[in-house]
Structure 1
């Protein structure tokens, strides 16, 4: 029996009508989860509410938010209200935030783990007081301390990676965690938040993935590059092109094997075995995230064919 669940990660479009349309397409395609990329310039709770009203079964939540842009008190109250409204269709992805992104917003990235833990504790307190409406919590895990925190306090981890080789440390830590073992079998999710590009034309899917892969490589630390056989010199060249606004130049530096390492791109037939490889190592939810494809709506429909094989 297959246990893989499927989610989709959406970057909000310009208006709610389009976000709702894409959400309904995702639900119709068979996605069980919809993860909305959060930013402080959007009305997150309004968007979630509008999508919940217009959909029927898909579970919805920020994927991910952080305690610097969403204060724990308001976050917990708003999410619980939405969960009760939707008959328990709210879920929550949360992480420590990204220093470089928060710097651009003039937000000080201070004591991120402490603030993340406080947010999770506030939501867990809300869950304790509302046992019939508990909100599942998942932590964006980028290191061992975050995996440890997730194991103690939440339902799983979200990992921004597309290749099995990037899961070694996390899988080992999960396997050896007494806190996770106490939860019982199949009670802790490992979710692959994967750069995905699907098209009936293999080359079109590959080309659509290039821009996302360029940004992933540009922001990758040395140990990740080494794991994938990419030199820091190449990383620096890509970063320099992107930082100067030369997006095309950055994309041209992305080789085909880089796309294989940092995304899952191709036709349905290409993508299915790669998802199976992630499932074999213990991934329990595959989240198809940006770019998804040249045409997001058509790619969502096409991905439904992948889901149907499960």
Structure 2
């Protein structure tokens, strides 16, 4: 797989450095984190999208004001909570105010979160594909009528992006992985462990075999839960919440791939369904953390990054980052530099 040139902000030509910033914090705090990530050499900053957090596009506007070069986008939004035409307009707006730095991270969304809103996540693959293909047409200045997984009639935008906006599809299952490789500009693989990444790449290669030449280069990024700190124990403890949610949504084949007991995973899921988060986090085992998060000191994380990069073109340093966010961004940058041979 051929990756994009990621040298603009100081990272290796061979690996893209990206980061997920979660708007559970005020917009100005997240903007400051984006500015720090830019200083530390990251190429892309994604603002995650969950209905219970601050609006990612409002936060992205603050991130655009606070930065100069780093690319910015939602990572990832779903085309159920917001109509795809509206999503296209929102991403184009971020592109406009950032002088052409937008990326579009789009996926099917979390089924349980959508169910909280009474939303049925029907036909996820078709809806994601039709969403970004419609967005591309709208960004090209076309007036679009669409009847498919959703409806749009005589839709157009009153603005045009400054340039091409890359589309990254959040994916974990085989069909979404293959579709992204065939039609998108990149994929955000929801995995941290080399075993999962190796399996995902086998699916991606099937899609690339059907990718038309005119589609251009394709980039695969591991969207990995990461927790890095000076103290190994502190880093692993901070990993418990995201790992609990990953385990709660993990399919049986994924659990089997890592030898995780189904009953132990069921305890986590049951506590999450009851809304007892502390109990759920307490049920997270060391084996679950090893399977679903890159957690530890800078040196440990660098080794895990290096192993992941055997399979992908780059890494998205995802939530929770670490117990201290600013420190974690700096340490993640150091770890990526070690993993990619960029360390001074």
TM-score (norm 1): 0.91
Q: Structure 1 residues 181, 173: closer, same or farther in 2, change over 3 A?
A: farther
Tell me the equivalent position of 1:172: 202
1:36 — aligned with what?
A: 47
Matched residue of 2:315: which SS? strand
Asked if residue 75 in structure 1 is aligned to residue 87 in structure 2, the reply is yes
Contact kept, 8 Å, 2:224 with 2:315, in 1: the verdict is yes
SS in 1 for 2:28: helix
Give aligned pairs, total: 308
Q: In the aligned structure 2, how far is the partner of 1:109 from the partner of 1:131? A: 29
Work out which structure has the larger RCO, using CA pairs closer than 8 Å and 6 or more positions apart in sequence: 1
CA distance in 1, matches of 2:68, 2:168: 22
Counterpart contact for 2:243–2:293, Cα < 8 Å: yes
**What is the alpha-carbon distance in structure 1 between the residues aligned to residue 162 and residue 32 of structure 2?**
30
Conservation of the 8 A alpha-carbon contact between 2:57 and 2:90: yes
Distance 2:280 2:39 in 1: 36
How many angstroms does 1:267 deviate by? Answer: 0.9
| Structure-1 separation of matches of 2:318 and 2:235 | 13
Is the contact made by 1:30 and 1:307 (CA closer than 8 Å) also made in structure 2? no
The answer on whether the counterparts of 2:88 and 2:139 sit within 8 Å (CA) in structure 1 is no
Decide whether aligned partners of structure 1 residues 141 and 261 sit closer, same or farther in structure 2, where only a CA change above 3 A counts. same
SS of residue in 2 equivalent to 1:280: coil
State which drifts further: 175-184 or 143-152.
Answer: 175-184
Structure 1: how far apart are the matches of 2:182 and 2:89? 22
1: CA distance between counterparts of 2:333 and 2:183?
33
* Paired position in structure 1 for 2:234: 204
Aligned to 1:147: 177
RMSD over aligned Cα atoms: 2.2
Q: What SS class does the counterpart of residue 67 from structure 1 fall into?
A: coil
Contact in 2 for aligned 1:191/1:284 (Cα 8 Å): yes
2:327 maps to 298
Q: Hey, which of these two has a bigger chunk of helix by percent?
A: 1
Partner of 1:157: 187
- Residue 49 of structure 1: how far off its partner (Å): 1.8
In structure 2, distance between residues paired with 1:110 and 1:175: 26
Deviation at 1:297, TM superposition (A): 1.9
Q: Deviations over 1:253-284 (max 9, x none)?
A: 33323211111011111111111111112x11
Is the CA contact 2:229–2:297 (under 8 Å) kept in the aligned structure 1? yes
Deviates most, 225-234 or 176-185 = 176-185
Q: Is the 8 A contact 1:39 1:69 kept in 2?
A: no
1:38–1:44 CA contact under 8 A, matched in 2: yes
Give the CA deviation at 1:235. Answer: 0.8
What runs of 5+ residues in structure 2 fail to find an aligned partner?
Answer: 1-11, 142-159
How far apart, in 1, do the equivalents of 2:173 and 2:82 lie? 22
TM-score, normalised with respect to structure 2 = 0.82
Q: Secondary structure at the match of 2:68?
A: coil
